[in-house]
Amino acid sequence: MKNWLEAYSIIDFISVGLLLTAVTLNAFKSIESYVKAYTINSWLLASLITAVAVLMNEPHLYVAALLTAATKGVLIPLILRKIIRQMRITHIIQPAISNALSLAVSSLLVAVVYASLKTGITVTGFSRNVLQIAIAVILISLFIMITRKKALVMVLGLLFMENGLFLAGFSLTFGMPTIIELGVLFDVLMGVIILGIFAVQIRRTFASADLDKLTVLKG
């Protein structure tokens, strides 16, 4: 198993998969696809942790992988789908810029991250590629949050960013103690619930979850 993982460079494949799910966000038009991409991203993250656990013989990482899969892979997507049903919105995302431009910008972001982290930083973890990919994921999700108007997309961007941060932390430290990971996952779960309720309330009060309309609140 261990040799097999090393021989086929499974970690590289999974981490590029994580990057791809983040990049594809730029091309999606409906919020359901965002939730799907997030689910795939979380499962990939869990499988990356499992692969590292096998490679490094770190049994406590299995717990982390299980927790990630259970909360981010199952629970949060379920909650998000419920919120989408409750909001009964048209699920079309109106990006502020065109899909093609947005794809181009995020691929440039990836290139910039790769180029700037190529020298000057020494990573002693299992793979220095994973750190670069993690930072690229963080920047892409930030970009998604900037350029999309729907409130729920903000939540998804934040979740993607959290996945990226988790990946970055994981690639540097081989996973934090389980109790901290539990705390972080619980935080994320609560965050999703609160933000979800908040988005539903925005929709009820203003009959729209378009954040551009918040500017009318200015005095």
What is the binding site for other proteins (CB under 8 A)? 8-9, 12-13, 15-17, 19-20, 23-24, 27, 99-100, 103-104, 106-107, 110-111, 114, 118, 129, 132
Of 51 and 76, nearer to other proteins (C-beta) is 51
- The torsion defined by the Cα of 18, 92, 155 and 88, in degrees rounded to 10, comes to -130
Tell me the three state secondary structure of residue 59.
coil
Nearer to other proteins, 23 or 67 (CB): 23
Q: What share of the chain is helix, strand, coil (3-state, %, to 5)?
A: 80, 5, 15
Alpha-carbon distance of 35 to 42, in angstroms, equals 11
Q: How many whole angstroms separate alpha carbon 36 and alpha carbon 178? A: 27
Q: Which is nearer to other proteins, 50 or 71 (CB)?
A: 50
CB atoms within 10 A of CB 34: 27
Shortest Cβ 27–other proteins spacing (Å): 5
Pick the closer one to other proteins by CB: 129 or 163: 129
